[in-house]
Structure 1
Amino acid sequence: MPMLPTTLPAWLALLETRHAETHIDMGLDRVRAVKERMNLQFGCPVIMVAGTNGKGSTCAMLESVLLHAGYRVGLYIKPHFLDFNERARINGEMASDAVLVEAFGFVEDARGDIDLTYFEFTTLAIMHLISKAGVDVAILEVGLGGRLDAVNVIDADVSIVTSIDIDHAAWLGDTREEIGFEKAGIFRAGKTAICSDPLAPQSLIQHAADIGADLWLIGRDFNYQGDQQQWSYGGRTQRRNSLAYPALRGANQLLNAAAALAALEALRMQLPCGAQEVRTGLALVELPGRFQVLAGRPTTVLDVAHNPHASATLAQNLGNMGFHRYTYAVFGIMEDKDIDGVLAPMAGLIDHWCLADLPSPRSAKAAELAEKVAALRPAGAKDADFSVTTFADPAAAFANAVSRAEENDRIVVFGSFYTVAGVMAARKNSLH
């Protein structure tokens, strides 16, 4: 019997090498079998969140409000930017290496001869860790889709589907109806199922009806309205007025906040939250890489927009920011994404493109991106007003943008998580 790793980096390295050898079989039978052996169950309400975009923001808002209401909260969120530990949060704090190593050992003992992918293994470990942490509520973010995601071996008390758009088409289908059905797979009979997409696919509505879930739709069962200063939420039995805007910036955040408040309304008997706790929780919520505007000049924005829906939202948010002389983009993305669809909303907003190779075999090459971006050049634009350069990694691309941008310009870092993480790591290193 080979020795098991004793450190988190060694565990992650082992799982990476195994992952390369494990064929991804999209069923949940293997994960469910290991879950049974682990006797994995939660003794508290579980909120599960799926969606193409907005799921991280919705999870972060739920965590923040519930923490301010005095509850012990467990959160599983992904992917991470700098440290794997970011994926597991207990009471607002990242899980320690020691706790994660112990959880990995537990899954390894339980799995026996059953092969698990990196994602399945780490998901079971983090859910085990949260289930043993004495939390009052567990918030679980779904990775890909919903129906066949490893998180879905748990039965949620409240399930949320945020937005539904085309992403991961190879796995989930290439229409909103197909994708809506996959995401509705997290709904459960007799339990609250929330959808905050204003155009919920019929497949999702039908699936909820077929299994007897209690479906809450935005515009029908809950809603929001706002002016410049504040906003209000209205649900089936609960109104919340004069709320502060969420600290997360951007056009879609009220949809996400409304979904979070609908979940809290559904759980109001088990997890009551007062008006002031909701206000404070939303006002102080933090989530890196979602239209995150850094302090200082030139203005720098970090956003993990890597599909057309997210890119259109980013473009809208940038358009609301006021005048900047030039906008520099640091951009890198996976090659299986709808790259043209991501670039299209940004075309008129970016003057200088700094394109980066990413540390993943699935990433699009910067040189290939350059060909696509060159086609966005405005007719008759001078080189001083439009440029395209390529770099070996996001850190080099960002350093170039910083060296060229003046204080009235802005830099937008967007695309893959790897792009934003690479810039975050470079900034962290430059501060030390």
Structure 2
Amino acid sequence: MPFNSLKDWLQWQESLHPRVIDLGLQRVGQVFSALQPKYNKPVTLTIAGTNGKGSVVAFLESIYLAQGYKVGTYTSPHILKYNERIKINGSPVSDDLICSAFERIDAVRSDVSLSYFEFSTLAALDIFAQFDLDVQLLEVGLGGRLDAVNIIDTDLAIITSIGIDHTEWLGDTRESIGREKAGIFRRNVPAIVGDPVPPLSLRICAEETGAKVSYINQDFHFEKHPDGWNWIGEQVLISNLPSPNLKGEHQYRNAATVIAAITAMQN
């Protein structure tokens, strides 16, 4: 059912699925298998959390681009234009690329109903597959365990913070929400937790999954000083880092979490 404009595609998607939010991996996973039967996954970092995801993605994108890597970034929601959700090397992709991806998705989905967010996730993954990326950064939209981006096995999971959000779908306690966000963990895969007081459920899930988790204030730390700040990890010290442009104590935690993630990826 091709449309002539991105606006028309998005309006149609908003009315296609009976639920605005419909968590689960079966439908979106089925369509992705048909869409990308020979999927060649780039290095993937998956970012979940209540607050701080956007900052962490922005830090990661900037660092990898500065090192000359080809980077795809998927985030939500957008601020001004839908295209902001899907970026290649820091630039939003064109309407034509997104519409072409939507057309391919619609052609293979058969009678499978997809939500607006699921269409968006599939489009991002389909577009990224065309660009021979070095790294793709996938921001979780809601929760983690049943979010559409979790159809991709991550090479490193990041959880920025855990607060009370989306209680209708994730539960009304930090323990239940932490369990959902920990759903992006994978066995023997590094994970970084930037929440200074993570719920017990997250630690339990980490042990049950067998993920290699590093926690802020336990496995890595930061310390501020008048000229900037230092990052301290196991047998690693990075001194005199410039203060983050984004203000607030939490931005130091976000930046420290990103350095821990990049350090883990280099090991």
TM tier, smaller:
over 0.9
In structure 2, the partner of 1:205 is 203
Query: Could you say if the C-alpha distance between residues 88 and 24 of structure 1 is closer, same or farther in structure 2, counting changes exceeding 3 Å?
Result: closer
Return the alpha-carbon distance in structure 2 between the equivalents of residues 213 and 79 of structure 1. 28
Residue 22 (structure 1) shift: 4.5
Residue 42 (structure 1) shift: 4.4
Q: Is the 8 A contact 2:162 2:195 kept in 1?
A: yes
In structure 1, the partner of 2:216 is 218
In structure 2, the partner of 1:251 is 249
In structure 2, the partner of 1:88 is 86
Residue 238 (structure 1) shift: 3.2
In structure 2, the partner of 1:9 is 7
- Residue 29 (1) aligns with residue 17 (2): no
* Higher deviation after alignment, 118-127 or 178-187: 118-127
Gaps of 5+ in 2: none
Q: 2:68 aligns with which of 67, 70, 76?
A: 70
Q: Is the 8 A contact 2:75 2:138 kept in 1?
A: yes
In structure 2, the partner of 1:117 is 115
Q: Is the 8 A contact 1:172 1:179 kept in 2?
A: yes
Q: Is the 8 A contact 1:48 1:160 kept in 2?
A: yes
- Report SS of the residue matched to 1:139: strand
Residue 249 (structure 1) shift: 1.7
Residue 93 (structure 1) shift: 0.6
Q: Please give the residue correspondences for 1:32-47 in structure 2 after superposition, counting only pairs within 5 Å.
A: 32-39=29-36, 41-47=39-45
Q: Please give the residue correspondences for 1:386-401 in structure 2 after superposition, counting only pairs within 5 Å.
A: none
> When the two structures are superposed, what TM-score results if normalisation uses the length of structure 2?
0.95
> Deviations for 1:82-103, whole angstroms, at most 9, x for unmatched residues?
1000001100111111111111
Q: Is the 8 A contact 1:22 1:116 kept in 2?
A: no
- Report SS of the residue matched to 1:82: coil
- Residue 153 (1) aligns with residue 151 (2): yes
Residue 24 (structure 1) shift: 4.8
Q: Please give the residue correspondences for 1:286-365 in structure 2 after superposition, counting only pairs within 5 Å.
A: none
Query: Could you say if the C-alpha distance between residues 60 and 238 of structure 1 is closer, same or farther in structure 2, counting changes exceeding 3 Å?
Result: same
In structure 2, the partner of 1:61 is 59
Identity between Structure 1 and Structure 2 (%): 45
Return the alpha-carbon distance in structure 1 between the equivalents of residues 235 and 124 of structure 2. 34
Return the alpha-carbon distance in structure 2 between the equivalents of residues 266 and 193 of structure 1. 8
Return the alpha-carbon distance in structure 1 between the equivalents of residues 245 and 118 of structure 2. 32
Structure exhibiting the larger radius of gyration computed from Cα positions: 1
In structure 2, the partner of 1:104 is 102
Name the aligned partner's letter for residue 80 of structure 2.
L
Residue 219 (structure 1) shift: 1.3
Return the alpha-carbon distance in structure 2 between the equivalents of residues 24 and 224 of structure 1. 37
Q: Is the 8 A contact 1:238 1:265 kept in 2?
A: no
Return the alpha-carbon distance in structure 1 between the equivalents of residues 155 and 78 of structure 2. 26
Considering only aligned residues, what root-mean-square deviation do their CA atoms show, in Å? 1.4
Residue 223 (structure 1) shift: 1.1
In structure 1, the partner of 2:229 is 231
Return the alpha-carbon distance in structure 2 between the equivalents of residues 252 and 222 of structure 1. 15
> When the two structures are superposed, what TM-score results if normalisation uses the length of structure 1?
0.60
> Deviations for 1:211-253, whole angstroms, at most 9, x for unmatched residues?
1110111111111111132111122353221111111222200
In structure 2, the partner of 1:421 is none
Q: Is the 8 A contact 1:47 1:159 kept in 2?
A: yes
Q: 2:258 aligns with which of 248, 257, 260?
A: 260
Return the alpha-carbon distance in structure 1 between the equivalents of residues 243 and 20 of structure 2. 45
Return the alpha-carbon distance in structure 2 between the equivalents of residues 206 and 131 of structure 1. 34
Residue 39 (structure 1) shift: 2.3
Q: Is the 8 A contact 1:191 1:214 kept in 2?
A: yes
